[in-house]
Structure 1
């Protein structure tokens, strides 16, 4: 899972000229802590190959979706869409809202989220680039 995550986020690091994006610097121990913390973690496989992953943590009726990653050689095949739908479905019915964020210049990623009903509700500026877009979707 960590290998796919790192491979998927290299292009984001290049786009933003930021080699220290959290998905690239996260350690195996940190991933293990997420798995042990009771959050939702889903993976996609193609045969025996792990080709994608996504996470969600529940807080105050909101499913915070993160670390959606698909192996770069398989982009555009619908794996990200399937993972996004699956993580939403895996959240309990008490989750009435989903929230996520992405880089403001990540056009393909923003387009994916919008296709699935997410809308931008905030933009946060950061010193090193175009900032982050926060998107939400209500059930």
Structure 2
């Protein structure tokens, strides 16, 4: 199988990204025994609108989207979210490459990257710590699942 190519995604990718999102986050829903996770409730129209407003990258193998990541900026923080890899493609470095793509395109003035994941998502936590994120807190999310918040401080240009 060929290596995934990381490229920007847009509103026209909404249908395939929504299918990927449901597949990726359904595995998370099983871990937490909850089907009410926000990514599983997002609609096509909501996602399409979000893709128009937030920079998004996709990992593509052949013609199939196998991973994705979205960001939005608030002042000097770039919030990284909806990091997802197709269940049959996990463990192949796609998540790491998506995170690297975000870091390669950080806008001027951004000092930190921020993200969160569920406390039982040990694979996610290992990945984020391996690429330099550090835990900064925990608190329940909107569904009551305990979320782990992590940040990565960016090196300032010298």
**TM-score of the aligned structures, taking structure 2 as reference length:** 0.83
Cα displacement (A) at 1:20? 1.0
Q: Using the TM superposition, give the Cα deviation of residue 126 of structure 1 relative to its aligned residue in structure 2, in angstroms.
A: 5.3
SS of residue paired to 1:57? strand
1:75-114 paired onto structure 2 within 5 Å: 75-114=90-129
Aligned to 2:9: none
Matches of 2:88 and 2:104 in 1, distance apart? 26
Q: Any gaps of 5 or more consecutive residues in structure 2?
A: 1-16
Q: Specify which structure has the higher proportion of strand.
A: 1
Q: How many pairs are equivalent?
A: 138
Can you list the C-alpha shifts for 1:80-115, whole angstroms capped at 9, x where unaligned? 000011012222131110000000111000000000
Q: Deviations over 1:2-59 (max 9, x none)?
A: 111110111110111110111111111111111222x210100001111000000011
Tell me the TM-score normalized by structure 1: 0.94
Indicate whether 1:13 and 2:29 are aligned: yes
Secondary structure of residue in 1 paired with 2:110: coil
Q: Where in structure 2 are the equivalents of 1:1-139 lying within 5 Å?
A: 1-37=17-53, 39-125=54-140, 131-139=146-154
Stretches of structure 1 that go unaligned for 5 or more consecutive residues are: none
CA RMSD, 1 decimal? 1.4
Following TM superposition, the consecutive aligned residue runs of length 4 or more in structure 1 with deviations greater than 4 angstroms are 126-130
Q: What's the offset of the Cα at 1:129?
A: 5.7
C-alpha distance in 2, partners of 1:62/1:116?
A: 17
